[in-house]
Structure 1
Amino acid sequence: MNKHSKRKAYVALPWLQAMLTIWLAGCSAPPAEEGIREALHEMAEAIEARQAGPVVRRLSDDFSLHRSSGEMDKEQTRRLLTATLLRYPDIHLALTGISVLPDGARHDQAQAAFSVLATGGSGALLPETGQLYRVESHWQLDGGDWILLHAKARRMLE
């Protein structure tokens, strides 16, 4: 290798390192964040479409929901969701402030916190009711899907 070829190799090396870094950064989006955000939006869309099934499928068998009124298991949560869908024919959810924190020791576990504005009514122009909640949740990767292990929800204005 002559002197001119060595100089070209040294010039190309930093460029190659920079391109590799950019490429790896683009490919290394955190799977927990993407998967949990996707799961949350899927669940919200299912509720707005008045479908409890997709929501319940995202709950682990030993799921628990802690609310100010007490603790609920998966079956109680399913019944509450079904009753809510029957009571309010027009439900809208707005998820905001979603933050996902992957578990540092286990790639298949993560925490997620978010706010949700839930409004419902009889299908009229303006909602009859509305409530803002803050939710803290624990998720686990199960066969490629993120499922909800437990959640704690509280009204923001309590």
Structure 2
Amino acid sequence: MEKAKLSMIRTTMKRWLMVLCVLAGIAGCGRDSPEAQLRQRIDDMQAAVETQRPRDFMDGVSEAFTGQDGMDRAALHNLLRMRALANARTGATIGPLDVRVEGENATVEFPLLLTGSSGRLLPEQAATYRVTTTWRQEGGEWRVYHARWKDRP
């Protein structure tokens, strides 16, 4: 009788283990929501600015990018490289994101504080902006294809 109970317990444990593995697999296979993907992309781009890696930032920028005052993708890349060369440290603090997703397109608005420093304790430069970005899915990845910004007092 003891062997029968032990066998039944093992069978039950195996079934529970299989159910848990299936549930874990389902949870792991689930893709992040479009909003979560956008937030992660923006976090990655912010980190690229702060670690002075313009090329990594540009991974999130569409080849068809247009910006304020006729800025294109190449001009944006040059601006980022110039900031990295001119400052030993660059700060990019992003405020709350207002994310609106419509299918494969999205708009993200946020306040931005940009700082630049020669490496001393306090930054020598600082500016705040209200940024509006427009995104779309390209090859399964979110990329910004338009941006505009306003100085904030």
Q: Give the TM-score of the pair, scaled to structure 2.
A: 0.76
Amino acid at match of 1:138: T
**Residues matched between the structures, number:** 124
2:114 matched residue in structure 1: 118
Q: 2:142: which partner in 1? A: 146
Residue 55 (structure 1) shift:
1.1
Give the C-alpha shift of residue 29 in structure 1. 9.3
Gaps of 5+ in 2: 1-29
The C-alpha deviation readout for 1:35-59, integer Å capped at 9, x for no partner, is 1111111001011111011111211
Aligned to 1:131: 127
Rounded Cα–Cα distance in structure 2 between residues aligned with 1:130 and 1:136: 19
The amino acid of 2:36's aligned partner reads: E
Q: Which residue of 1 aligns with 2:51?
A: 49
Per the normalisation by structure 1, the TM-score is 0.74
Root-mean-square deviation (CA, aligned residues, Å) is 1.6
1:52-77 CA-partner distances (Å, limit 9, x unpaired): 111112111110111xxx22000011
Query: Could you say which residue in structure 1 is the equivalent of 2:72?
Result: 73
Decide whether the 8 Å contact of 1:120 with 1:127 is kept in 2.
Answer: yes
Counterparts in 2 of 1:143 and 1:29: CA distance versus 1, 3 Å:
closer
Distance 1:87 1:136 in 2: 26
Question: Superposed, which structure 2 residues align to 1:15-94 within 5 Å?
Answer: 31-66=33-68, 70-94=69-93
The Cα of 1:108 is off from its aligned counterpart by: 0.9
* Structure 1 unmatched runs, 5+: 1-27
Q: Distance in 1 between matches of 2:37 and 2:117?
A: 31
Larger Rg: 2
What is the percent sequence identity of the aligned residues?
27
| Structure (1/2) with the larger helix percentage | 2
By how many angstroms is 1:155 displaced? 1.1
